[in-house]
Amino acid sequence: MTAPSKTSVSPADPSPHVAAAHDKILIVDFGSQVTQLIARRVREEGVYSEIVPFNKAEAAFAEMKPKAVILSGGPASVLDDNAPSAPLSILTAGVPVLGICYGEQTMAQQLGGTVEAGHHREFGRAAIEITDTCALFDGVWEVGGKYDVWMSHGDRVTKMPDGFRAVAKAPGSPISIIADDIRKFYAMQFHPEVAHTPDGAKLIRNFVRNIAGFAGDWTMRAFREEAIEKIRAQVGKGKVICGLSGGVDSAVAAVLIHEAIGDQLTCVFVDHGMLRKDEAKTVVDLFRHHYNIPLVHVDASKTFLGELEGVTDPEVKRKTIGRLFIDVFDAEAKKIGGADFLAQGTLYPDVIESVSFTGGPSVTIKSHHNVGGLPARMNMKLVEPLRELFKDEVRDLGRELGLPDIFVGRHPFPGPGLAIRCPGEITREKLDILREADAVYIDQIRKADLYDTIWQAFAVLLPVKTVGVMGDGRTYEYVVGLRAVTSTDGMTADFYAFDMKFLGETATRIINEVKGVNRVVYDITSKPPGTIEWE
Ligand code: XMP
């Protein structure tokens, strides 16, 4: 057994392939903003898929031996020098291939067709007309019909490679969908993976199930069983420690690992004093009483709030909290005799290597931290059983493991907690006000049955006081900002358009029920240009 020391990290098994027993689809990423949606659509068909950047696709194809390949869209033009392309080994391997947008163009060009710059660029909704039958359209589209699709391209295919036929046309691209039924190669100018192509998911289903012949047997039940086997194989008789944040991901990871190795797992829940109302109680109840999982509950609020006294800069706040987390966690890990493994709720979007066409490092908007920041200073191997899942798949797994719906469906909550929802200096008084206002707001949202429609909602306590009048008296109190967004992954978000009646009633309730607040405002900023959190 190795006591955690602040030296090095052993990365998780880089190719865990929990899904080894299942047929897979390889998605070759050319840098489209929506490549992840292709993986989503494929997984919705009960088929396991992985996304790999185009420049690593050859090795991934050889290792994964996928039963089919999808080539994503991307911002480049095949007419550019050094344009990215699909490995030829994929196009000659005899597996079905679906090309989407850029994927279509590179496929056409690489196989001997011609791509030209379009006379007019097509972005947004367009209608395509089906000109011939095709296995992609079975039960979905008919010859002669016109259907809405989402286009986003400048170039177009003007001459098809040998063996292909055109099966659809659009005003901007007479060759909109091409098919080679012998090789099972299909490609389209538009994006079937986005919701703006209403029948897109059905086209992908036809490719996956009918053309490529997948059974669709990748279910959460199968995932659970395989993940448990894999955790047992990885951990052996070792000890595992898992930091709980109160969020869904770490909770699901912990319950899954506990099912695999029982009391070889210890969970540590650090209360930094900036949690939501009743959060600590909820987590402790759930783990200790419902699941009987060994849990160390550390009240470190004094340390955190003490060190944050007078700190107003958002980045200094984040970094201070990150540093203290490590110290507290480290100390607690030592107290329980150390551990060989650190469990984390890392998700698939965190591990996908995205393709950058801009070059150079990306700008740090915020130093995101959660327990995920720990390993850099710890000498434990990582156990990351959710590395292959998207957020809502984790929720499905949580339900499969018997976590209560109300817990599984919770909105995301950031590691630094309410600290970043309290712009300016943090004090216990401000945190108490914020906790109460947030609880009223969330209660309102639940009562209006909007909680599951909204991706994330929370209150913010502004660092200003304003004048108001209550009864006959003057008040001089804080302003609460309300935030609610819809999103799929938190990378982009739209503000949620509540009706005014809801907002009015919520403001009244907050002002009446929360001492110290006399004004409420609603944040109507989307992301970009705003971020979801205020700091
Ligand atoms: P932003 O504010 O960057 O937030 O638009 C996007 C999503 O990330 C969450 N968030 C965090 N999550 N540690 C986390 O675990 C962090 O430091 C952190 N900062 C922001 C935020 O709540 C939203 O869901």
pLDDT digits (tens, 9 = 90+) for 144-198: 999 999 987 678 899 999 999 999 998 877 899 999 999 999 999 999 998 889 9
Whole-number pLDDT of residue 528: 84
The atom of ligand 1 lying closest to the CA of 366 is 3
CA of 92 to the centre of ligand 1 (A): 43
* Domain ranges, ordered by start, for the chain: 24-211, 220-409, 428-522
Q: Which residues of 358-384 are buried (b: 16+ CB within 10 A; e: fewer)?
A: eeeeeeeeeeebbbbbbbebbbbbbbb
Pair 167, 115: CB distance under 8 Å: no
Pair 455, 411: CB distance under 8 Å: yes
Of 492, 498, 499, the closest CA to residue 529 belongs to 492
- Around 324, how many Cα atoms within 13 Å sit in the side-chain half-sphere? 23
The atom of ligand 1 lying closest to the CA of 416 is 17
Using only the alpha carbons of the chain, give its radius of gyration: 26
> SS3 sequence, 433-467?
HHHHHHHHHHHHHHHCCCCCCCCEEEEEEEEEEEE
Whole-number pLDDT of residue 3: 33
Whole-number pLDDT of residue 360: 45
Pair 54, 357: CB distance under 8 Å: no
Of 44, 406, 345, 24, the closest CA to residue 220 belongs to 44
> What does the alpha-carbon distance between residue 276 and residue 273 come to, in Å, rounded to a whole number?
9
| Closest protein CA for atom 17 of ligand 1 | 368
Eight-class DSSP state of 45: T
Q: How far is CA 457 from CA 318, 408, 439, 512, in A?
A: 20, 16, 11, 20
Q: What number does CATH give the domain 428-522?
A: 3.30.300.10
Domains 24-211 and 220-409 share a fold: yes
- 245 annotated among ligand-binding-site residues: yes
- For residue 349 and ligand 1, the question of a CB distance below 6 A is answered with no
> What does the alpha-carbon distance between residue 495 and residue 376 come to, in Å, rounded to a whole number?
35
The residue ranges of the chain whose pLDDT is under 50 are 1-19, 358-361, 370-373
Collect all residues with Cβ–Cβ distance below 8 Å to 74 and sequence separation of at least 6. Answer: 29, 30, 31, 32, 84, 101, 102, 103, 355, 357
| Closest protein CA for atom 12 of ligand 1 | 414
Eight-class DSSP state of 135: G
Q: How far is CA 531 from CA 301, 339, 350, 490, 494, in A?
A: 27, 37, 18, 9, 10
Whole-number pLDDT of residue 374: 55
- For residue 391 and ligand 1, the question of a CB distance below 6 A is answered with no
pTM of the entire structure?
Answer: 0.79
Whole-number pLDDT of residue 46: 94
Please state whether the peptide bond connecting residue 529 to the residue before it is cis, i.e. omega within 30 degrees of 0: yes
- For residue 532 and ligand 1, the question of a CB distance below 6 A is answered with yes
Q: Are strands 265-271 and 295-299 parallel, antiparallel or unpaired?
A: parallel
Q: How far apart are the first and last CA of the chain?
A: 40
| Mutational pocket test of ligand 1: of 533, 534, 535, the residue with most ligand atoms within 8 Å of the beta carbon | 533
Structure tokens of 44?
A: 């919705």
pLDDT tens for each residue of 268-278: 999 999 999 99
CA of 368 to the centre of ligand 1 (A): 7
CATH class of 24-211: alpha beta
- The fold adopted by the segment(s) 220-409 is Rossmann fold (3.40.50)
- For residue 368 and ligand 1, the question of a CB distance below 6 A is answered with yes
Whole-number pLDDT of residue 120: 62
Whole-number pLDDT of residue 215: 94
> What does the alpha-carbon distance between residue 430 and residue 425 come to, in Å, rounded to a whole number?
9
Whole-number pLDDT of residue 19: 46
Beta-ladder partners of 495: 485
